[in-house]
Amino acid sequence: MIRSLRVLILQNHPMHRMIAVEQLRAMDCTQVYVARDGASALALLRTLGAVDVIICDMNMEGMDGLEFLRHVDESHLACGVILFNLMAADLRWSVQQLLALSGLKILGDLGQPMKLQSFAILLRQYIELRDGYIASDSTATNLPSLEMIQEGLCENMFKPFYQPKFNLSNFVPCGAEVLARWDHPVLGVLMPADFLPLIAKYDLLDELFAQIFEQGVAFQAHLLLRGYRLQLSYNLDAQQLLSLELAGRIKDILYRYALPATLVTFELLETGLIGDSRASMENMIRLRMMGCGLAIDDFGTGYSSLQRLCDFPFNQIKLDMHFISNMDLPVYRAAITSTLAMAKALNMTMIVEGVESDMQRRQLVQLGCTLGQGYWYAKPMAHLAMIQWLNEADTGCIKHF
Could you confirm whether 356 is annotated as catalytic?
no
**How far, in Å, CA of 238 to CA of 242, rounded?**
7
User: Residue 7 carries which side chain, given as an amino acid letter?
Assistant: V
Q: How many CA atoms lie within 13 A of 359 on its CB side?
A: 4
Report in angstroms the alpha-carbon separations of 122 from 59, 62, 82, 119.
21, 28, 8, 5
Compute how many other C-beta atoms are within 10 angstroms of the C-beta atom of residue 401: 10
Exposure b/e, 55-75, CB count within 10 A at least 16 = b = bbbbebeebebeebbebbbee
Q: Which residues have a Cβ under 8 Å from the Cβ of 316 and sit 6 or more positions away?
A: 265, 293, 294, 295, 296, 348, 349, 350, 351
Compute how many other C-beta atoms are within 10 angstroms of the C-beta atom of residue 345: 8
Report in angstroms the alpha-carbon separations of 35 from 9, 13, 118.
6, 10, 22
Residue 204, classed as helix, strand or coil, is coil
- Is 108:122 a contact under the CB 8 Å cutoff? yes
**How far, in Å, CA of 375 to CA of 98, rounded?**
28
Report in angstroms the alpha-carbon separations of 374 from 204, 269, 320, 360.
28, 18, 11, 11
Residue 377, classed as helix, strand or coil, is coil
Q: Which of 177, 267, 270, 353 is catalytic?
A: 353
381: DSSP letter: B
What's the full length of the chain, in residues?
A: 401
Residue 297, classed as helix, strand or coil, is strand
Least Cα distance to 216 among 233, 199, 197, 192 occurs for 233
**How far, in Å, CA of 341 to CA of 125, rounded?**
38
Catalytic annotation, residues: 353
